[in-house]
Amino acid sequence: MTAPTTHSAALERTRAEVCALHAELVRWNLVTWTSGNISARVPGTDLVVIKPSGVTYEDLTPSSMVACDLDGRPVESGGTPSSDTDAHAYVYRHMPEVGAVVHTHSTYATAWAARGEPIPCAITAMADEFGADIPVGPFALIGGDDIGRGIVATLDGHRSPAVLMANHGVFTVGKDAKSAVKAAVMCEDVARTVHLAREHGPVERLAQEHIDALYDRYQNVYGQRAGNDS
């Protein structure tokens, strides 16, 4: 099958963007070997683009990104999509506001996931980006809809764009691919900081009123144009 030609420009742009953002996962040391993946909706279509299965990061090219329908089925002949495609597709089908999904096994965040412990919202940068503790989702085996169901059940209606899937790793969502990648980078950063803090003493969650004020300012007043420099 071939994607409709009216979609081809948007498809090619999305392929290029998703391919380039995979380099950020490597740059921020969030992935090992072929683990981890990014997907994004193709604007104006019912297609998503996702990393191919089993291809090393240095060998990724825009044309190797796999276009799939919202059931996770490839719409063109070529590469096999990531083995996590079912989970991504489930999120797109059930969270229409989500434009991109990122998955990593980044070290510190996955250590929290291995303990099944949410990361307490104890630093202002975390209140800015996540507006809450980073929650833990249920344990689920790969294959079928179980992981996707767990992501949606945890994140739908939650401020946090990141979930720690128990004994597995991180899934993040965003309005676009860059936002979802930023959430994955920030999730690992705060997981590391709070972990290090706890090695030397108890960590107190910020007061809810302060979390609310920080989140509101960063998300609505300070705006998405901001870096994380506050």
Q: Could you list the residues that contact Zn ion (CB under 5 A)? A: 169
Least separation in angstroms between residue 103's CB and Zn ion is 6
Compute φ and ψ for 109, nearest 5 degrees: -60, -40
- Residue 169 or 174: which CB sits closer to Zn ion? 169
- Residue 141 or 221: which CB sits closer to Zn ion? 141
| Token output for 81 | 């999509």
Least separation in angstroms between residue 66's CB and Zn ion is 17
Residues 6 or more apart whose Cβ sits within 8 Å of residue 171: 87, 91, 101, 102, 103, 137, 147, 151, 155, 162, 163, 165
- Residue 45 or 154: which CB sits closer to Zn ion? 154
| Token output for 90 | 């489930």
- The radius of gyration of the chain's CA atoms, rounded to the nearest angstrom, is 17
Least separation in angstroms between residue 88's CB and Zn ion is 11
Least separation in angstroms between residue 35's CB and Zn ion is 6
Least separation in angstroms between residue 153's CB and Zn ion is 18
Least separation in angstroms between residue 6's CB and Zn ion is 34
Element (DSSP H or E) covering residue 162: strand 162-165
- Residue 141 or 207: which CB sits closer to Zn ion? 141
- Residue 7 or 51: which CB sits closer to Zn ion? 51
- Residue 137 or 169: which CB sits closer to Zn ion? 169
Residue type, 30: L
DSSP string, 70-112: TTS-BSSSSPPB-TTHHHHHHHHHH-TT--EEEEE--HHHHHH
Question: CA-CA distance, 78 to 53, in Å (whole number)?
Answer: 11
Least separation in angstroms between residue 92's CB and Zn ion is 18
CB 38 within 8 A of CB 177: yes
CB 114 within 8 A of CB 91: no
User: What are the C-alpha distances in Å from 47 to residues 41, 43, 119, 127?
Assistant: 6, 8, 33, 33
